Amino acid sequence: MSAIADIKSVSASDLAALRRAATGREPWRSLDELADTAEFRRFGEAEFPAIAERLPFSLDRRTLLKLMGASLSLAGLTACSEAERIVPYVRQPENIIPGKPLYYATALSSDGYGIGAVVESHEGRPTKVEGNPDHPASRGATDAIMQAAVLSLFDPERSRAPLRQGEPASYGDFLKDMAKLAGGLAASGGQGLALLIEATTSPTTKAQIGSLKQRYPKLRVFRHDPLAASANEQATAKLFGRPLTPIYHFDRADVIVSLDADFLGEGPGRLAYARDFAQRRRVRKSTDTMNRLYVVESTPTITGAAADHRRAVRPGLVEGIAAAIKAALEGGHDAASLPSLGMEYALVDDLREAGRNALVVPGAHQTPFVHAVAFAMNARLGAVGNTLDFIEPPHAMPIDGDLAALCQAITSGSVDSAIVLGSNPLYTAPSDVDVRNAFSKLKLLVHWGLYRDETAFLAQWHIPAAHELESWSDIRAYDGTASIVQPLILPLFGGKSLHQLLAALGGEFDADMQALVRPTWADMDEPAWRKALRDGVVPNSASAPVVVSIPADVGDPAPHAPVTNRLEVRFEADPWLRDGRNANSPWLQELPRPLSKLVWGNAALISPATAQRLGLENGQMANLARGGKDLDAPVWIMPGQPDDTVTLSLGFGRKIGSVAALSGGYDAFVLRTADAPWFADGLVLTARDGSARVVTTQHHQAMEGRAIVRHATLDAFRQDPHFVRDGAPPAPTESLYPDWTYDQEAWGMSIDLSACIGCVACVSACQAENNIATVGPDEAALGHEMHWLRIDRYYAGAVDDPDTFFQPVPCMHCEKAPCEAVCPVNATIHTHDGLNAQVYNRCIGTRYCSQNCPYKVRRFNFLKYQEFDKDSAGPQQAVHNPDVTVRSRGVMEKCTYCVQRVAEKRIRAQIENREIADGEVVTACQQACPTQAITFGDLNRKGSQVSREKAAPHDYALLEELNTRPRTTYLGKITNPNAGIAGKPGTETGDG
Amino acid sequence: MQIGAGMPQVFSSNANGIARFILWGLCFFAIFAAIGGTALLRSGFITGVGRPVAQAVPFSHKHHVGDIGLDCRYCHNGVETSASAGLPATEVCMTCHSQIFTNADMLAPVRASLASGRPLQWQRVNSVPDFVYFNHSIHIAKGVACETCHGDVDDMPLMQRAHSLSMEWCLGCHRDPGPNLRPPRDVFLLHWNPPQDIEQVRRSLISILDIHPETMTDCYVCHR
């Protein structure tokens, strides 16, 4: 949060001094820490500085006694409660036993592709999304957005009724209008009608649109997907004569080169890719091997943070670098004219050695040339068919053009009625496409969506959409595997599914949601259909790889003019809000972005050197102009950002929706044009005088530079498997406190820092499981965010291109817990199985425990962050996990190791009179983790997975010199840099 | 101010006695209030023990359990598997009452519920606060009988609380579960007659059922 920019933080002129500072110490968390600004010290010195500054310390004894008297007299009132009612069913649904959740398999959409999910439902109320282990895109993992699906389901601001010209109307009226329309259309063959769809892989949608086109031969279908990138399709169409989609097999890849590809954080296969990638980075003994990852990227991503060698370059240079690597691989060419990475030859040697186990991955948003070069290199290495396969695109659907084409058709008069299905083009359109002007010429504009968004305000008809968790549908995963999407609950606000709307267009007005999907899968008999629903996947539906041959010559890169004093702009989707569709989700607004740790807003990311050149400071406003459009954005200095590149994230700056309007930030769509959707040249930046609040969770709960993240190279690990002990202060062996004995289980957790990619899915899962409140931007700026689990991000090395480390920090559940000793009311106590339990109904909020916690993992409810009175809490209370108490103001809370899950499994095991099996208790963070970096289990059980992890030579505890004896321990991070590439810091062992 | 002989006494001589009376009186009152308050909190007036609760349908456990002999699980079917024992759906009532007492006025709300699809609403009798996570199934599995907490329901024309269900009361058993255990097969019996060797049975139950009283008072057993 340092960057409340009205407190001047990092000054650009100090950067030279910062560079010197950075070389002398490691790791560091932010530029503010390096500069040791007043703002950083403010967070270091007081745990909650904002409170310390606000408290009236003139409080005299008399006032204190008065306050105590008042609180005592009020204390008695809390015991009163009203009589409750029990409301049983009229007809008990099959399989429902009140108090026992049911789990249903379905799939959630991510940019149109499916990721399998298993949703927990309490008496018909969906509360938690887990991954589906049988689904290829999930493999049991989830991401932060999937976790938030249940929150958006219960969002009270979802559209609740059809609107005609903005006035509430009935769906029946809409159908009457549609019937009239359909009558006219049948006569004219659909003349003048256009559909605007989003990217979709649904076979039912495809079939429905196909039959609509048969019915109305002149119907035109356009697609608008602001986050789609067409480069891959263009490249494969040119190479193979038809568009194909690449599928990567990271589990087989020994050497991976990413050409601006964020394959761990973006794309429909990211969870599976992360799993495969991390599987090859688990080192436990010196004979284990690792993969090696080279990343060339144009803005810092979690893939770059996971790299063994990373180079930040301007986005426009990636083409040249791809060509240079290809030239080096082919050996014969003179590559002098191409930009140099400084490591091509070592990299290429590595690739050659790996042969068919090498993999070159092009970034989805990069140019077709980069894709073609990457595929050619893979072909030359023999990797195609091994680490890389091509399949028919799962989203294939014949379309007549994009949004710009639609607007053109409207302007030329060939389209007069448009039906917008799901997207929000008025917000997400490129700035050179005047959608408002075009749409206002329409005779009829129908909008179907979850919210009454910008486009809905313009539409004659707005129809509320049914949420994914309310609809029947089907969807394909990144590899083509199909899933049936089944509803967990009837539409809460009368929403209609996409299929119902398409059916209505075709004259089928009272179609049942399920009946529209079932015929698509008519070849499945009833048992097969039920099995597909139960499993969450349609068996054997993955696309078969296509055999291709790739020409070696793919042409030359487009000439890239050398840039002097001109900036390139790089657009990226906000990792959580995407194109702004999730902007009304408080969980996602408040979830820190993996690298910048920004919450409730975005900023323009620039490199330290560029900031120095332009004289910019963190949080300072700057005007960014391109092609006649401009916007004002606060600047954020990002270590690892390429020079002369400004990264802008999409999805913020919306004014519709009360949560979205709370957040700060700018709308980057303003600068985006249709011809250059992802990066462009010629950005003009003008510094402004003012500054804006940029909220980040970066400095909170600082750990003051002790041996925190410990890391080594694979070679160093092989020489000294116990590297985590090097230079670390010895852990004391004696304690004043008596030892505990554990006759039953002794729970513990191990977190593998080599596997953690910093994707923040665990934080979101923890929030969903444990009813953790969001606090809003003002409270977050004060450091009051409530996440029980945080992911600390540390930098080491040079400011311009540092190594990045992630460290998830939940409660350590110390054996000798400092918090337990200081609680005056025994509200935090040690249990018989080693948990450090927090008893909310005992807690009186002294905050002594938080003060005494060296890990700063305790969170205090300064305000009544969530309504716990059932009558006034509104629909969003339905998302609460009924097995976890909702906390009120004045109560301390923290990670419990998901004690409700422990208790549930223990009760089940005890009823069956057996021991709890190893791996039976799974914490929420562990379950969500795509890379299985978190292991949880019983330390008393010999051979349990967690004991084996903790027996690894590089197991260490945070701040063990304090003798707290944490139960959560870490496996030091092991990287695998190429010994032939020198000059990178962090090639030796190190610790923070 | 100088204290002089001419200055009058502020308090009369019996003020001492009044002061003593007030001070002692306050002490006695405080003790009385503490004892009285403690007793009041444990009395049926506050806990609701022994006070029948009026219901929309005057369902009689005395009739259904005592006279007819229905098993608890016929209606409370989640009790062995779930945290909550569950209340019967309207349909369950109607399994019998579609055949007998079909026109009884008393059962009009039940018939109306089935016809309209609107559920019956029962007043909760046995309740614990929201931050207490009581689980029926584990108590049943470990040999804690229904009547141990719910009392002799076959003597209750209208349901009433048999015990305070206060934390003190729960802890009484969690600290020393022995006296409340019986073989799990007998937990649904009312007015159960312990066998002669019950003490020995209870001791063996503790070991057979793997009951660890030392772990049963951990806060998180009930509070999460």
Eight-class DSSP state of A728? P
Beta bridge partners of A552: none
- Dist CA B55 CA A102 (whole Å): 31
**Nearest C-alpha of chain B: how many angstroms from A87?**
5
Q: Which of A271, A289, A269 is nearest to A280 (CA)?
A: A289
Alpha helices for A704-833 (secondary structure H): 714-719, 761-769, 776-781, 818-822
- Where chain B has pLDDT below 70, the residues are 1-6
- The one-letter amino acid code at A101 reads P
**A680 touches A368 (CB < 8 A):** no
pLDDT (0 to 100) of residue B45: 85
Three-state helix/strand/coil letters over A891-947: CEECCCCCHHHHHHHHHHHHHCCCCCCCCCCCCHHHHHCCCCCEEEEECCCCCCHHH
Asked whether residue B175 is domain-assigned, the answer is yes
Give chain B positions within 8 Å (CB) of A885: 130-131, 223-224
State whether A92 and B89 contact (CB < 8 Å).
yes
Task: Give the strand pairing for A388-391 and A309-312.
Answer: unpaired
B123 shares contact with chain A (CB less than 8 Å): yes
Give chain B positions within 8 Å (CB) of A88: 86-90, 119-120, 122
**Nearest C-alpha of chain B: how many angstroms from A380?**
58
Question: Which residue's structure tokens are 């409700």?
Answer: A900
Long-range CB contact pairs, B36-42, < 8 A, 24+? B42/B164, B42/B166
Asked whether residue B142 is domain-assigned, the answer is yes
Instruction: Please name the member of A90, A829, A911 whose beta carbon is closest to the beta carbon of B117.
Output: A90
Asked whether residue B117 is domain-assigned, the answer is no
- pLDDT digits 0-9 by tens, A448-457: 999 999 999 9
pLDDT (0 to 100) of residue A100: 93
**Structural domain harbouring B32:** 22-47
- Dist CA A502 CA A64 (whole Å): 67
User: Looking at the structure, do residues B81 and B33 belong to the same domain, yes or no?
Assistant: no
Instruction: Copy the structure tokens of residue A65.
Output: 């006694």
Instruction: Copy the structure tokens of residue A714.
Output: 């694979």
- pLDDT digits 0-9 by tens, B28-56: 999 999 999 989 888 888 888 888 999 99
Q: Which of A121, A123, A79, A77 is nearest to A103 (CA)?
A: A121
- Dist CA A34 CA A21 (whole Å): 7
B133 shares contact with chain A (CB less than 8 Å): yes
Instruction: Please name the member of A90, A832, A903 whose beta carbon is closest to the beta carbon of B91.
Output: A90
Asked whether residue B129 is domain-assigned, the answer is yes
Angle formed by the axes of helices A368-381 and A231-240, nearest 10°: 50
Exposure of A990 in the CB half-sphere (CA atoms within 13 A): 20
pLDDT (0 to 100) of residue A66: 55
Q: Is A531 helix (H, G, I), strand (E, B) or coil?
A: helix
**A882 touches B199 (CB < 8 A):** no
User: Looking at the structure, do residues B195 and B149 belong to the same domain, yes or no?
Assistant: yes
- Dist CA A44 CA A435 (whole Å): 49
**B30 touches B140 (CB < 8 A):** no
Chains A, B: CB contacts under 8 A, how many?
A: 122
**A357 touches A255 (CB < 8 A):** yes
**Nearest C-alpha of chain B: how many angstroms from A772?**
13
- Dist CA A982 CA B214 (whole Å): 60
pLDDT (0 to 100) of residue A28: 61
State whether B142 and A910 contact (CB < 8 Å).
yes
B120 shares contact with chain A (CB less than 8 Å): yes
**Nearest C-alpha of chain A: how many angstroms from B103?**
19
Would residue A239 be called left, alpha or beta, if left means φ above 0 and alpha means ψ between -120 and 50 degrees? alpha
pLDDT (0 to 100) of residue A982: 63
Instruction: Please name the member of A87, A832, A899 whose beta carbon is closest to the beta carbon of B119.
Output: A87
Q: How many other CB atoms are found less than 10 A from the CB of residue B174? A: 16
Closest CA in chain B for residue A897? B224
Asked whether residue B189 is domain-assigned, the answer is yes
- pLDDT digits 0-9 by tens, A331-341: 755 556 677 77
Which of B42, B125, B221, B224 to mutate to test binding with chain A, by most A CBs within 10 Å of its CB? B224
- pLDDT digits 0-9 by tens, A268-311: 999 999 999 999 999 999 899 999 999 999 999 999 999 999 99
Q: Given CATH 3.30.70.20, say whether it is the number of domain A699-981.
A: yes
User: Looking at the structure, do residues B195 and B161 belong to the same domain, yes or no?
Assistant: yes
**Nearest C-alpha of chain A: how many angstroms from B6?**
37
pLDDT (0 to 100) of residue A566: 80
Closest CA in chain B for residue A96? B78
State whether A90 and B127 contact (CB < 8 Å).
no
Eight-class DSSP state of B221? G
User: Looking at the structure, do residues B68 and B166 belong to the same domain, yes or no?
Assistant: yes
Give chain B positions within 8 Å (CB) of A907: 135, 137-138
**A621 touches A633 (CB < 8 A):** yes
Cα A33 to Cα A25, A511, A601, A785, distances in angstroms: 11, 61, 22, 20
Q: Is A195 helix (H, G, I), strand (E, B) or coil?
A: strand
**A465 touches A450 (CB < 8 A):** yes
Residues in chain B: 224
Give chain A positions within 8 Å (CB) of B91: 89-92
- Dist CA B74 CA B93 (whole Å): 10
Eight-class DSSP state of A599? E
User: Looking at the structure, do residues B185 and B137 belong to the same domain, yes or no?
Assistant: yes
State whether A90 and B119 contact (CB < 8 Å).
yes
**A555 touches A238 (CB < 8 A):** no
DSSP E strand stretches across A286-372: 292-297, 309-312, 358-362
Asked whether residue B77 is domain-assigned, the answer is yes
C-alpha A777: how far from chain center:
19
State whether A907 and B137 contact (CB < 8 Å).
yes
- Dist CA A698 CA B220 (whole Å): 32
**Nearest C-alpha of chain B: how many angstroms from A753?**
29
Which of B220, B221, B222, B223 to mutate to test binding with chain A, by most A CBs within 10 Å of its CB? B220
State whether A88 and B119 contact (CB < 8 Å).
yes
pLDDT (0 to 100) of residue A371: 95
Beta bridge partners of A626: A629
User: Looking at the structure, do residues B43 and B128 belong to the same domain, yes or no?
Assistant: no
Q: How many other CB atoms are found less than 10 A from the CB of residue A750? A: 24
- Dist CA A957 CA A724 (whole Å): 10
Closest CA in chain B for residue A887? B131
- The one-letter amino acid code at A253 reads A
- Dist CA A579 CA A115 (whole Å): 18
Three-state helix/strand/coil letters over B148-199: HHHCCHHHCCCCCECCCCCHHHHHHHHHCCHHHECCHHHCCCCCCCCCCCHH
Is the peptide bond prior to A677 cis by the omega test (within 30 degrees of 0)?
Answer: no
User: Looking at the structure, do residues B67 and B173 belong to the same domain, yes or no?
Assistant: yes
Q: Is A711 helix (H, G, I), strand (E, B) or coil?
A: strand
Question: Phi/psi of residue B124, each to 5°?
Answer: -70, 135
Q: How many other CB atoms are found less than 10 A from the CB of residue B190? A: 18
C-alpha A56: how far from chain center:
40
Q: Is A77 helix (H, G, I), strand (E, B) or coil?
A: helix
pLDDT (0 to 100) of residue A84: 80
Q: Is A246 helix (H, G, I), strand (E, B) or coil?
A: strand
Closest CA in chain A for residue B129? A81
B212 shares contact with chain A (CB less than 8 Å): yes
pLDDT (0 to 100) of residue A37: 61
State whether A100 and B114 contact (CB < 8 Å).
no
Window 34-93 of B: residues touching A by CB (8 A cutoff) are 77-78, 81-84, 86-92
Q: Model-level pTM greater than 0.95?
A: no
User: Looking at the structure, do residues B43 and B126 belong to the same domain, yes or no?
Assistant: no
Asked whether residue B173 is domain-assigned, the answer is yes
**Nearest C-alpha of chain B: how many angstroms from A92?**
6
B98 shares contact with chain A (CB less than 8 Å): no
Residues of A with a Cβ under 8 Å from any B Cβ are: 81, 83-92, 97-100, 743-744, 829, 831-833, 835, 837, 839-842, 883-885, 896, 899-900, 903, 907, 910-911, 913
State whether B82 and A839 contact (CB < 8 Å).
no
User: Looking at the structure, do residues B29 and B79 belong to the same domain, yes or no?
Assistant: no
Count: domains in chain B? 2
pLDDT (0 to 100) of residue A852: 95
**Nearest C-alpha of chain B: how many angstroms from A825?**
13
Residues with Cβ within 8 Å of A337's Cβ and at least 6 positions away in sequence, in order, are none
Which CATH number applies to A163-228+398-535?
3.40.50.740
Asked whether residue B178 is domain-assigned, the answer is yes
- The class that CATH gives domain A1-56+570-696 is mainly beta
- Dist CA B166 CA A857 (whole Å): 33
Give chain B positions within 8 Å (CB) of A97: 77-78, 81-82, 86
- Dist CA A497 CA B184 (whole Å): 50
Eight-class DSSP state of A221? E
Q: What is the ipTM of this complex?
A: 0.89
- Dist CA B43 CA B35 (whole Å): 12
Domain map (residue ranges) of chain A = 1-56+570-696, 102-153, 163-228+398-535, 245-391, 699-981
- Where chain A has pLDDT below 50, the residues are 1-13, 24-25, 55-57, 69-81, 700-703, 984-992
- Of the options 3.40.228.10, 3.30.300.30, 3.40.50.11610, 3.40.50.2000, the CATH number for the domain spanning A245-391: 3.40.228.10
Measured over the CA atoms of residue A951, residue A952, residue A953 and residue A954, the dihedral's sign is: negative
